[in-house]
């Protein structure tokens, strides 16, 4: 059984009861996304204050739209995990599929309703699906992780 896989921009290592992922996704990217969400909320408050000074009725739907974008951004940021080390017991299931932009992705669905996405290959450059996909599925099943191939 293979425990180390070279993926697009990094690697996945299965050690004991942990998965270590190094793929260039940093924890500070989550903090940056949260900063963007705060900026949307500040922008919504600014538009509301502008309404009180101008009394332009179009400011209210604009402020509502800005708040909705901020809320959607907050929800999506909280649903994404950026952890580099995951316990096997945290993982509910794994889904391997190719997305619309030709990335072959491994999405680890965690029990706390978060997801950790790892890009395995891009446009079949490294032929991951041909050479390593079967071994990755066997390794995931060895660790009792439900795996779906879509």
Distance CA 86, CA 13 (A): 11
* CB within 8 Å of 122: residues ≥ 6 apart: 8, 102, 103, 104
Mean pLDDT for the stretch of residues 40-48: 94
DSSP state of 125: S
Query: For 54-66, how does the pLDDT look when each residue is reduced to its tens digit (9 = 90+)?
Result: 888 899 999 999 9
Closest CA to 106 of 116, 85, 114: 116
- Residue whose entry in the numeric block shows the structure tokens 């099943």: 141
54: tokens are 């101008």
CATH fold of the domain at 4-24+83-149: PH-domain like (2.30.29)
Query: Per-domain residue ranges for the chain?
Result: 4-24+83-149, 29-79
Query: For 77-108, how does the pLDDT look when each residue is reduced to its tens digit (9 = 90+)?
Result: 999 998 899 999 999 999 999 989 888 999 99
């Amino acid at each position: 059984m293979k425990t180390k896989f070279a993926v697009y921009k990094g690697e996945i290592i299965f050690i004991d009861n942990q998965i270590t992922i190094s793929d260039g996704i940093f924890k500070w990217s989550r903090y940056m996304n949260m900063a963007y969400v705060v900026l949307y909320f500040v922008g919504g408050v600014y538009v509301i204050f502008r309404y009180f000074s101008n009394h332009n009725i179009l400011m209210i739907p604009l402020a509502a739209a800005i708040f909705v974008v901020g809320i959607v951004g907050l929800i999506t940021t909280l649903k994404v995990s950026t952890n580099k080390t995951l316990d096997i017991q945290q993982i509910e299931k794994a889904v391997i599929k190719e997305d619309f932009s030709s990335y072959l992705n491994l999405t680890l669905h965690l029990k706390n309703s978060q997801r950790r996405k790892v890009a395995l290959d891009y446009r079949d450059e490294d032929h991951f699906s041909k050479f390593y996909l079967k071994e990755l599925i066997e390794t995931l099943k060895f660790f009792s992780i439900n795996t779906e191939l879509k």
